[in-house]
Amino acid sequence: MGKDNKLVKIFHGPQHPGITGNMSVEIDLDGETIVNSETHVGYLHRGFEKLVERRTIPQAFTIVCRICVPEPDPNEENFARGIENLANIEVPVKAKWIRTMVLEMQRLTAQFLWIAGQGGSLGLYINPQWAVADRDLMLDLYEELTGARVYHMYIYPGGVRNDLPVGFLDKLSRLLDYYESRLPEYDRIFFNNAVFKKRAVGIGIVKPETAIKHGVVGPVLRAAGFKHDVRKYAPYEMYSQVEFDIPTQRDSDVYARALVRREEMVQSIRILRQVINKMPKDGPVNVKLKGHRQFLIPRGETWVRTESSRGEFSYFMASDGTEKLRRMQVKGPSMVHAMSLLPEVLKGAQLADVAMIMNSLGTCPPEIER
């Protein structure tokens, strides 16, 4: 206890090398043990839903990718597919294959960034040095494909902005070869690292009943033994045309969640190999839309969802027949993982484990303050 038997209150973040984005956790400590905690967000981008509702569809397209900076493409895909549902737009087949490719490329970059962050939270600094460098190789391909490294603004209502550059699939294939050769090295420095296992095994346990109560998704849910993935059970784009497995674990601790993410990297590479082989050589990649004041969305409602690297990500969209959406609501994994689950998991944990537990849940703060 603190002086006069009072708890000590500290703030973990928002500027901290081991936190997930710009968010703060207010912690009450009894010595080194966490008694209570509360998550605070709003230090970065926010207010996306209202920003979108006040813009025409082509204008709003540039907003949604910022809902999650490290993983913008699931937002672009959700937004595009929602508009396509409302406007009855049929997306060309080649565009769907390209979208599937882009989403799995994004999943790999997100997992590399997760490895970097989790290593940093433990003081294993070779992890961020290696993982950020390897992630940058995929960003090079994104830059060639879209002209941008982070905010791609490439998956557009009606398809994608442009076709694949000459030789792009060969470059992607070579990069996948490199990633496959690197995974055993990441096993050595991180996944099988004695320090990481000592720190992570048995820490931050999310019991199966807790996972269901809070509605957790993604690797957190799969590490608790639940075999759920939107790509498999509600397939979109071309996921019904590729084969992949849903990795699960049973221990539901920080280490189990790491193992799920490690295997998901293998599955992403497997999916991308199939996409490369099945990619149509010819055909349109988009449907030409009217200008932003002429593109009117028919009255109606829709709900779409994708499987981001952090779990199920969904959009609700409602139109009143004008050039703007009447309502858009975003539901990502972070609201549950950071706001309701994290305080419960942190109760009784040690101060030194806060960053590691928080990273293991996979959050993106702008999703919450949306």
Which residues does 321 contact at the CB level (< 8 Å), separation at least 6? 296, 297, 298, 299
pLDDT at residue 50 tops 70:
yes
Q: Is residue 28 part of a domain?
A: no
Query: Residue 160, SS3?
Result: strand
State the first-to-last Cα distance of the chain, in angstroms, to the nearest integer.
37
Q: For the segment 330-351, what is each residue's pLDDT rounded down to a tens digit?
A: 998 988 998 999 999 999 999 9
Domain residue limits at 362: 45-367
Task: Tell me which amino acid residue 33 is.
Answer: T
**354-361 vs 254-278: helix axis angle to the nearest 10?**
30
Cα(76)–Cα(28) distance, integer angstroms: 39
Percent helix, strand and coil across the chain, each to the nearest 5: 50, 15, 35
Residue 145 vs residues 64, 101, 108, 126, 169: alpha-carbon distances, Å: 19, 11, 16, 29, 11
Reported as a single tens digit per residue, the pLDDT across 231-270 is 999 999 999 999 999 999 999 999 999 999 999 999 999 9
- At 295 the pLDDT is 84
Residue 119 DSSP class: H
- Does 4 map to a domain? no
Is 85 part of any domain?
A: yes
Kindly tell me if the per-residue pLDDT of 1 is higher than 60.
no
Instruction: Give how many domains the chain has, as a whole number.
Output: 1
Count of all residues that appear for the chain in the document: 370
Most confident of 45-59, 185-199, 281-295: 185-199
Kindly report the backbone phi and psi dihedral angles of residue 167, in degrees, each rounded to the nearest multiple of 5, phi listed first. Answer: 80, 5
Q: Say if 279 falls within a structural domain.
A: yes
DSSP conformation letters of 266-316: HHHHHHHHHHHHH--SSS--B-----TTT-PPPSEEEEEEEEETTEEEEEE
Whether 36 is in a domain gets the answer no
Any domain includes 18: no
Closest CA to 322 of 294, 289, 290, 291: 294
Please state whether the peptide bond connecting residue 366 to the residue before it is cis, i.e. omega within 30 degrees of 0: no
* Residue 2: band (very low, low, confident or very high) from pLDDT cuts 50, 70, 90: very low
| Contact predicate 14/24, CB 8 Å | yes
Binned at pLDDT 50, 70 and 90, residue 216 comes out as very high
In a domain, 14, yes or no: no
Of the ranges 120-124, 155-159, 198-202, 284-288, which one carries the lowest mean pLDDT score?
A: 120-124
CATH number reported for the structural domain that contains residue 251 in this entry: 1.10.645.10
Q: What is the DSSP letter of 351?
A: G
The answer to whether residue 164 is domain-embedded is: yes
pTM for the model stands at 0.94
Whether the pLDDT of residue 69 is over 90: the answer is: no
Over the chain, what is the mean pLDDT? 92
Residues of the chain with pLDDT > 70: what percent? 97
The DSSP result for 320-348, as a single string, is -SSSBEEEEEEE-THIIIIIIIHHHHHTT
Q: What are the C-alpha distances in Å from 323 to residues 86, 160, 312, 362?
A: 12, 21, 28, 35
